[in-house]
Amino acid sequence: MIEFKKNVKKSLPYDRKQYLDFLDEDINSTTKWYGVSFQLPGGYEGREIGLTEYLEAYAEWFKAIISQLDKGSFWTVNHDGKDMNWLPNDENNLVPLRALFKQNHISNEFKGALLFTKDDLLKFAKELISYPLAVFNEAGYLYENLDVSHSELSFIIKISGHANIDLLSTDQELLTAVINANNSNSFILRPYRGTFL
């Protein structure tokens, strides 16, 4: 089952403002988040990473994390900082995602969160993890990052347009367990400020 929710704030299991304050490195943030970025070699230094390479590295990894954390609850997918139009154009890409909107009579200009069960999230995994890179179908032109969060955990999978995926949580033990279970030689790990591996 997939739901479209206009009120993102009510759909999130964490305080979005505190989370964004943390991302902006606001020293007054009242909630401590921990994070690590999983990056492909050379990406941080500016090497261009194509969509095929990106999907080969991250698709199964993303699915493994979802399967590890899922307890039968919903997963929320929303734009990171600001709610944006989900499909700002009519490109011939992200075909299953565009079909999902059409089948549910949802406008491409919909702003809000998508709620997925585990099985549906896994079904749309490739479209979602490629979304910031692929929505405009033009090299170098990125769209808003996506956050994927579990409805009962303060755990976020941040899908970046910069060809990396970050894991964040207020629970450092949980974050460490997920990192340890899903690390590989394919990735370079870059901890966020204040996070120690």
pLDDT of residue 55: 94
Residue 176, pLDDT above cutoff 80: yes
13-17, 38-42, 179-183: the lowest-pLDDT one = 13-17
DSSP label of 27: T
- Considering the domain boundaries, does residue 196 fall inside one? no
- Considering the domain boundaries, does residue 197 fall inside one? no
- Considering the domain boundaries, does residue 111 fall inside one? yes
- For 36, the 3-state DSSP assignment is strand
What average pLDDT does the segment 160-187 reach?
93
pLDDT of residue 20: 87
- Considering the domain boundaries, does residue 162 fall inside one? yes
What average pLDDT does the segment 88-95 reach?
92
Q: Each residue of 42-73: pLDDT tens digit?
A: 877 777 888 899 999 999 999 999 999 998 88
What average pLDDT does the segment 27-41 reach?
85
Q: Any idea what the Cα angle at residue 173 is, between residues 168 and 176, rounded to 5°?
A: 60
Q: How far apart are CA 117 and CA 127, in angstroms?
A: 16
Q: Each residue of 100-123: pLDDT tens digit?
A: 999 999 999 999 999 999 999 999
Residues 6+ apart with CB under 8 A from 102: none
Residue 95, pLDDT above cutoff 70: yes
Q: How far apart are CA 178 and CA 157, in angstroms?
A: 11
Q: How far apart are CA 115 and CA 124, in angstroms?
A: 12
Total of domains in the chain: 1
pLDDT of residue 23: 83
pLDDT of residue 123: 97
Question: Which tokens belong to 160?
Answer: 């970046």
pLDDT of residue 28: 65
Domain that holds residue 101: 2-191
The one-letter amino acid at 181: A
pLDDT of residue 137: 76
pLDDT of residue 149: 95
Question: pTM value?
Answer: 0.94
- Is there a contact between 97 and 70 (Cβ–Cβ < 8 Å)? no
- Considering the domain boundaries, does residue 60 fall inside one? yes
Residue 26, pLDDT above cutoff 70: no
Q: Tell the burial category of 129 from Cβ atoms under 10 Å away from its Cβ (0-12, 13-18, 19+).
A: buried
Reduce the secondary structure of 92-117 to three states and give it as a string. Answer: CCCHHHHHHHHHCCCCCCCCCEEEEC
Residue 21, pLDDT above cutoff 90: no
- Considering the domain boundaries, does residue 155 fall inside one? yes
Residue 139, pLDDT above cutoff 80: no
